[in-house]
Chain A
Amino acid sequence: MKLSRRSFLVGGSAGVLAALASPRLISARGLLTDPALDDVIKRALSAATKAGASYADVRIVRRRNEGLQTREDRIESISSTEEYGIGVRVIAGGAWGFAATPAVTVGEGERIARRAVAIAKANASQLKRPVVLAPVPPNVDVWQTALIKDPFKIPLEDKAELLLAINREAMKVKGVKFVSARYAGNAEWKLFASTDGAYLEQEIVRLAPGYSVTAVDDKRGEFETRAHTLAPMQAGWEYVEQSSLLADARMIAEQAVEKLKAPSVTPGKRDLILDPSNLWLTIHESIGHPTELDRAMGYEANYAGTSFATTDKLGKLRIGTPILTFYADKTTPGGLATCGYDDDGVATQRWNLVDKGVFVGYQTTREQAAWIGEKASRGTSYADSYASFPFQRMPNISLAPAAKERSIDDLIAATEDGIVIVGNGSWSIDQQRFNFQFGGQAFWEVKHGKKTRMLRDVAYQANTLEFWSACDQIGGPSSWQLGGAMTDGKGEPAQSNAVSHGCPPARFKKINILSTNQRAAQASDRKGGQ
């Protein structure tokens, strides 16, 4: 593959900045840009500066998605999508402006750059505090997902056969009526350059295989589903090959059937043991979102909400027990949000959000660092498309394991009366991240240190601070696992972010357990309306 040398001029607020010349640092799969793009970028930045921008950045982004959806013995859909385009973001008159087009040409780049400046100027009239960006070194680099087998090069037949083999295995179990296996892969290639001297090329590859099995009792008119809990990952196809997806199909199907026959949970306060496949999402909702600085400052008030973790509580608020340290890390291997540089051109890093139970840090961007008196951004800016405005998005946020080895079986053995929850069911949390309610995929009763029987209809409801203050045991290093979401929503217009959360299993004392059983109420509804 050809190495390309870059040499281009960028215009900055102080006029024309020094030329940047950088040989391609590595040459690798897919990471070769059309040299004509240098010209598009240079001219767009120059057009923005000439039109009056004090800062501008350009992102040229190509996204590829591949998806297969199956049910039982057939493929429901196979799709391959590609999206390419250019977005220019500027600051003019202290305000942001942004414009984007799918036409990546010199002329279009210049046009949207001028458009972005015009928008910024229109917004400047409704500005009380001009945007100020924290300084950043002029990073020039290439970064890509560490992988062995490019999932986009794996034959479609192999993917289809794996999914159909899963379905066949699951359908062998008596009582199973439906099974739906799916695969989604995406590759996000982007070239970022700014008037502050950044020139960054990155490619991120993520994949998300999975399936769910439905057991139906026709006579009673009841059904239950059980989904596999393999985490989506930034990885190559080897991740799928090495997984237990197929090997687990029969067990997952048997659990769907067992769940349908299981007794409904009795509501009340019980000890809760959460598997990492369930706990990651609770961390996402109750620690991840509240520590987004824009939320805490009111920037998301009209949509996602605000936060209990306001700036006056930084360094003071006790969120949970001293065994809990949560850290943000956009460098976690395999993490869905992992990359070399964020969409402000800032190198990614790891830092603590909650240290030994105390709230100590926020997620920030270049615009936000000064809001809390920090000198540098934490590097969490992200836009989900060429056509999206980059803003603060969640990095991978994880719970550090205990120093001593301890497994989920050890947690169970130490519990008199509790419930174990595996996988994610429904989830919901309020707009300041206090009151949450989560379900799961599979639930087992624990009595006298042993898993006894499966339960159904389980949900746990708690207040974030009470919940983490009830955490009295967590697993050790070997029990730590990543979970994650491919489509976390935030912002208006809504943008999607892929993010992972690592954690060990954990135990929580005396948590409010609800029953979601509506079958009695439904039977009465069936008797007719009012």
Chain B
Amino acid sequence: MQTAAQAQRLLDRVLMLAKSAKGAVATASLRGTDGGNTRFAVNEITSSGDVERLSLSVTVQFGLRSATASTNQLDDRSIDDVVARATRMARLAPENVEELPPLARQRYAAVKAARDSKTAELTPAERAKAAAAVIQAGDATKVQIAGFYEHAAETFALASTEGLWAHHAWTSCALSCTARTPDGTGSGWAGASSNRAGDLDAAAMAKAAVDKAVASARPRKLAPGRYTVVLEPAAVASMTLVLAAQLGARRAEEGRSFFAKPGGGTRIGDKLFPETITLRSDPTDTALTTPPFDGDGVPLAPTRWIDKGSLRALSYGRYWAKKQGKPVTGTPAGWILEGGTATRDELIKGVKRGVLVTHLFYIRMLDPQGILLTGLTRDGTFLIENGAIVAPVMNFRFNESPVHMLARCDGLTATTVVEGMRAPALRTHDFNLASLSEAV
């Protein structure tokens, strides 16, 4: 793993080499990951590894011509070769009118304690111990357990011939598990991620998954249709992340996004959601494990994209911002859907007849115009009647948009970090559970 000083020396050398070609300017980056993982299934560890990866990437530009080459070898010959490759390709590349020169020095938000040394130094034996805690919960209840535990120490450094220097070091970890009853009719899931392994409670997660598996066994058939649903944080996160990815200004201004206005322009300023809905990004939230700059080195500021129900901002890359005369936002990261004050059980209490959803699977876009998604419920789907969970039900395929999910939301819990974002559980209505799935 390269230190900041080592990365800077290496990138300086790469940039010097690139600059030696007449008329060339360049940006170089170095990414490093030292990580480990332990995988378990059928109540035993099935595979495990410690892996070191790195990537040195160089973008060379001659005016409007540009190309990028990368390698994971840092010996002199490989460095010469990667610069030569980028230089050769850039000379051959057709001109791109959207090409911009490399960034100069930037100011980045301070991110404190992103790197947790305990997480970086986690050993295979410690991972095996966490896996054992989950496996034992399965053994004790005769439930089949599968799961995955991974951690990594990561670094990302960026520099340019124009003076850019960005460096970030952080750790990341995630643990998830799926419990299945021996008769194959019940399944439960639990999972979480953070930058600190100490935040992940293997035993609590195992208990949640096992309890859900047992409670969801022998589900009844509920007719497909539009239901009030309580979506747990993992389900909310996976829907919301698709919506977040659609918040680009360019596609909206080109008329090919949900956030485009018919006849031209965008929907900025439109009140699309209830007051309680705020979607923001914050790279200084260390549990979300993201650098405070994007892949181009653009500073990422904490931003409210949807604020109290109104669309406040769309993201601008460097070229499109310049063309439209807008500030550059970069590609946002570190997503947070703000939560509320209800508990999950309070959300359930307010449901006359509806469905509790744990987790979603295989989400795909059906129609980008309305951000219509399809996917399936999974690992714990329950019927709610008169404010209480009354029975497990078979899984559903849903055909629904995160836009509708948020527009019809009338209750939110506090947030947790799951699927790489901070998300609450929420209650929403008329959610289209379109067809039944036999899958458990």
Contact = CB atoms under 8 A, between A and B. Distances in A.
B20 interface: no
B101 to A, nearest CB: 16
B68 A518 contact: no
Nearest to B375: A428
Interface string A422-441: 00001111111111010100
Contacts of B128: 122-123, 125-126
Contact of B89 (A80, A128, A522): A80
Contact of A302 (B176, B267, B274, B374): B176
Contacts of A492: 37, 39, 148, 150
Given A430-B439, A518-B367, A123 B38 contact: yes
Given A126-B44, A529-B272, A435 B364 contact: no
Interface in A270-307: 297-303, 305-306
A83 B72 contact: yes
A418 B263 CA distance: 36
Interface in A86-109: 95-102
A218 B265 CA distance: 10
Interface in B205-237: none
A125 B135 CA distance: 12
Interface in A318-349: none
Interface stretch (A17-25, A33-41, A156-164, A251-259): A156-164
Interface stretch (B4-12, B342-350, B394-402): B394-402
Q: Is the interface of A mostly helix, strand, loop or mixed?
A: mixed
Contacts of B93: 75, 78, 156, 160
A128 B144 CA distance: 13
A126 to B, nearest CB: 4
A127 interface: yes
A53 interface: no
A214 interface: yes
Contacts of B69: 79-82
Contacts of A82: 69-73, 82
A386 to B, nearest CB: 9
B283 interface: no
Nearest to A224: B369
Interface string B391-419: 00001010101011001100000000000
Contacts of A164: 94
A511 B375 CA distance: 19
A428 B397 contact: yes
A79 B67 contact: yes
Interface stretch (A184-192, A456-464, A476-484): A456-464
A266 interface: no
B274 A518 contact: no
Nearest to B152: A493
A426 B366 contact: yes
A80 B70 CA distance: 6
Contacts of B117: none
Given A218-B263, A492-B148, A435 B436 contact: yes
A86 B274 CA distance: 53
Interface residues of A, number: 92
Contacts of A115: 50
A223 B369 contact: yes
Interface in A183-231: 214, 216, 218-223
A431 B361 contact: yes
A305 B260 contact: no
Contacts of A100: 49-52
Nearest to B191: A302
Interface in A475-530: 492-493, 512, 514, 516-519, 521-522, 525-526, 528-530
A78 B49 contact: no
Given A74-B96, A223-B256, A521-B370, A102 B73 contact: yes
B440 interface: yes
Contacts of B176: 302
B49 A525 contact: no
A227 to B, nearest CB: 13
A359 B135 CA distance: 32
Given A122-B125, A298-B180, A219 B369 contact: no
Contacts, number: 288
Nearest to A159: B92
A299 B41 contact: yes
Contacts of B89: 78, 80, 156
Nearest to B429: A530
Nearest to A82: B71
Q: Which of A76, A125, A433 has the most CB of B within 10 A?
A: A125
B382 interface: no
Given A428-B364, A435-B376, A492-B150, A528 B94 contact: no
Contacts of A95: 45, 48
Contacts of A432: 438-440
A97 B372 contact: no
A391 interface: yes
A168 interface: no
Nearest to A118: B124
A75 B93 CA distance: 8
Given A305-B361, A529-B272, A522 B256 contact: no
Q: Which of A95, A220, A435, A517 has the most CB of B within 10 A?
A: A435
A100 B72 CA distance: 13
A389 B49 contact: yes
Given A303-B148, A437-B397, A519-B370, A430 B364 contact: no
Interface string B144-188: 101110100000000000000000000000001110100000010
A529 B263 contact: no
A75 B44 contact: no
Contacts of A305: 361, 378, 439
Nearest to A439: B366
Given A220-B262, A223-B255, A518-B372, A300 B50 contact: no
Contact of A126 (B98, B131, B270): B131
B45 A126 contact: yes
Nearest to A126: B45
Q: Which 10 A-B pairs have the closest CB atoms?
A: A221-B262, A518-B370, A98-B49, A432-B439, A430-B439, A435-B437, A301-B146, A492-B148, A302-B146, A426-B364
27 contacts: A78-B68, A78-B90, A82-B72, A82-B82, A98-B50, A100-B49, A100-B51, A123-B48, A126-B135, A129-B44, A155-B92, A177-B256, A216-B256, A297-B42, A300-B146, A301-B146, A302-B147, A302-B148, A389-B47, A428-B363, A430-B438, A435-B376, A492-B37, A521-B370, A521-B404, A525-B404, A528-B271
Given A82-B70, A84-B72, 13 more contacts: A95-B45, A96-B48, A100-B49, A216-B256, A221-B261, A299-B46, A302-B189, A430-B395, A430-B438, A435-B435, A435-B436, A461-B397, A492-B148
